[in-house]
C-alpha cells in the first residue's frame, strides 16, 4: 500500500481527529459519524458494500468511471437502498475499458464530475463500515479523488472479502485439496470465490451489481468461517 495508514487500534482516534480538523463539511460529517470499536460484534455493525469501476488499475494514471454501493448487515442486504453513479473521468476512456465495463462514451460524456456526487457518496458511507472485494482499488482511488477535489484525505477502515478468502484458502482445506490435485492455485476472484459458497453467477462488472455480489459473499464467508459475534477488529484492515 503506497498510502500511509493509521493503525487499526487508532481508527477511532483518527476519525475523531479528522472530524475536528477537516474544512470540507461533507468530510467533516463523514469522520464525525465515527467508526465502531474494534470489539463490536459484526452483527451489530452497519455495513456498506462499495465497488468502483475505473479506467485502469493505476491510481496515478486512471480514474473512476462508476460507483455502486449497497448498504447491508449480517441479516439483510438492501440493494433497493443502494446507489449507483456514473461519473466523468478527467482522463479519457480507452476502448478496452469500455468493453470491460459496458459504459459508453455517450454515458460518460453526460455524466457529472465526481465532485458533484462526493457529498452524497460520503453521506452514504457515514456510520457504515465499508466492504470491498480487493482493497487495492476503492480506498486509494476514492482517497485520490477526494484529495484532488477537496484537498483533504479520505481514509477509513474496511473489510476485504478477497483477503478473507486468501486467508481461508491459505489456511483451509482448499489449499490442501488443490495441493493434492496439483492443480492451478485457487482463484480468489469475486465470481470464483462466490461459486465456492453456492452463490449464483451474476453478469459482472457493473459497480452496483458487484457491490451486491460482495455483500452476499461477506454474509456467506461469515456464515461459514466466523460467527455473528466475531469482533469487527478481527476482520477490518
Partner 1 sequence: MEAEVQEISEHLRQYPPFDRLDRKWLDQIAARTDVAYYREGSMIQEYGEPIDTLRYIRSGAVEIYRHNGELYNRIGEGDIFGHTGLLHNRRVRFPVRAIEDTLIYLIPADIFDRLCEEDDQFADFVELSGPRLQATVEQNERENDLMVSRVRRLLTRSPVSIEENATVHEAARSMTDHHVSSILLLSRAEGGDERAFAGEEDGHWRLSGILTDQDLRARVLAAGLSGETPLAEIKHDRLITIQSDESVYEAMLAMLRNNVHHLPVLHRRRPVGVVHLSDIVRYETHSSLYLVSNIFNQGSVKGLARLMPDVRAAFVRLVDDGATSQMIGQAMSSIGRSLIRRLIELAEAELGPPPVPYCFMVNGSMARNDQTIATDQDNALILDDSFDPEQHDAWFAALAERVSDGLHACGYPYCNGGIMGTNPKWRQPLSVWRRYFEEWIDKPDPEKLLHSSIFFDLEAVHGEERFVEQLQDLIAQRASQSPLFLAALARNALNRTPPLGFFRTFVMEKDGQHNNSINLKRRGTAPLVDVIRVHALAIGSRSQTSFDRLDDIVKANSLPAGQADKLRYALEFISMVRIRHQAHDLKHHHAPDNNIEPENVSDGERHNLKDAFQVLSNAQKFLRFRYPMPNR
Where on the chain is the footprint of partner 1 (CB under 8 A)? 70, 72, 75-80, 82, 84, 197-200, 202-203, 206, 208-209, 212, 215-216, 219-220, 223-224
Closest approach, Cβ 77 to partner 1, in A, equals 4
Closest approach, Cβ 84 to partner 1, in A, equals 5
Residue 27 near residue 154, CB atoms below 8 Å:
yes
Nearer to partner 1, 17 or 120 (CB): 120
Closest approach, Cβ 215 to partner 1, in A, equals 7
Supply the DSSP symbol for 27.
H
Closest approach, Cβ 88 to partner 1, in A, equals 19
How far is Cα 93 from Cα 54, in angstroms, rounded to an integer? Answer: 9
Provide the H-helix boundaries in the chain.
11-21, 25-32, 95-101, 105-109, 115-125, 135-150, 161-171, 173-181, 190-196, 207-225
Strand 47-54 versus strand 129-132 pairing type: parallel
Closest approach, Cβ 96 to partner 1, in A, equals 20
Nearer to partner 1, 111 or 215 (CB): 215
Nearer to partner 1, 2 or 80 (CB): 80
Closest approach, Cβ 8 to partner 1, in A, equals 26
**Among 187, 101, 114, 124, CA closest to 145:** 114
Closest approach, Cβ 179 to partner 1, in A, equals 24
Work out the number of other CB atoms within 10 angstroms of the CB of residue 155.
Answer: 19
Nearer to partner 1, 53 or 138 (CB): 53
84: which strand partners? 68
Nearer to partner 1, 24 or 53 (CB): 53
Nearer to partner 1, 78 or 91 (CB): 78
Residue 22 near residue 31, CB atoms below 8 Å:
yes
Cβ neighbours for 171, distance < 8 A, ≥ 6 positions apart: none
Phi and psi at residue 35, to the nearest 5°: -125, 155
Nearer to partner 1, 150 or 208 (CB): 208
Amino acid at each position: 500500500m503506497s498510502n500511509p495508514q493509521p493503525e487499526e487500534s487508532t481508527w477511532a482516534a483518527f476519525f475523531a481527529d479528522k472530524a475536528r480538523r477537516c474544512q470540507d463539511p461533507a468530510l467533516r460529517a463523514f469522520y464525525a459519524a465515527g467508526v465502531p470499536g474494534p470489539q463490536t460484534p459484526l452483527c451489530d455493525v452497519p455495513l456498506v458494500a462499495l465497488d468502483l469501476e475505473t479506467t485502469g488499475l493505476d491510481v496515478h494514471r486512471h480514474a473512476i468511471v462508476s460507483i455502486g454501493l449497497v448498504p447491508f448487515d449480517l441479516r439483510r442486504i438492501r440493494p433497493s437502498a443502494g446507489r449507483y453513479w456514473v461519473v466523468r473521468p478527467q482522463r479519457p476512456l480507452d476502448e478496452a475499458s469500455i468493453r470491460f465495463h459496458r459504459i459508453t462514451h455517450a454515458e460518460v460524456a453526460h455524466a457529472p464530475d465526481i465532485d458533484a456526487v462526493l457529498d452524497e457518496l460520503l453521506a452514504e458511507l457515514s456510520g457504515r463500515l465499508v466492504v470491498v472485494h480487493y482493497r487495492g482499488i476503492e480506498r486509494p482511488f476514492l482517497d485520490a479523488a477526494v484529495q484532488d477535489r477537496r484537498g483533504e484525505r479520505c481514509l477509513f477502515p474496511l473489510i476485504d472479502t478477497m483477503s478473507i478468502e486468501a486467508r481461508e484458502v491459505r489456511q483451509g482445506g482448499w489449499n490442501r485439496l488443490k495441493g493434492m490435485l496439483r492443480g492451478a492455485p485457487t482463484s480468489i476472484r469475486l465470481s470464483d470465490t462466490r461459486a465456492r459458497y453456492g452463490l449464483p453467477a451474476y453478469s459482472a462488472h457493473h459497480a452496483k451489481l458487484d457491490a451486491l455480489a460482495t455483500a452476499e459473499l461477506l454474509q456467506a464467508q461469515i456464515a461459514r468461517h466466523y460467527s455473528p459475534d466475531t469482533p469487527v477488529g478481527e476482520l477490518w484492515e
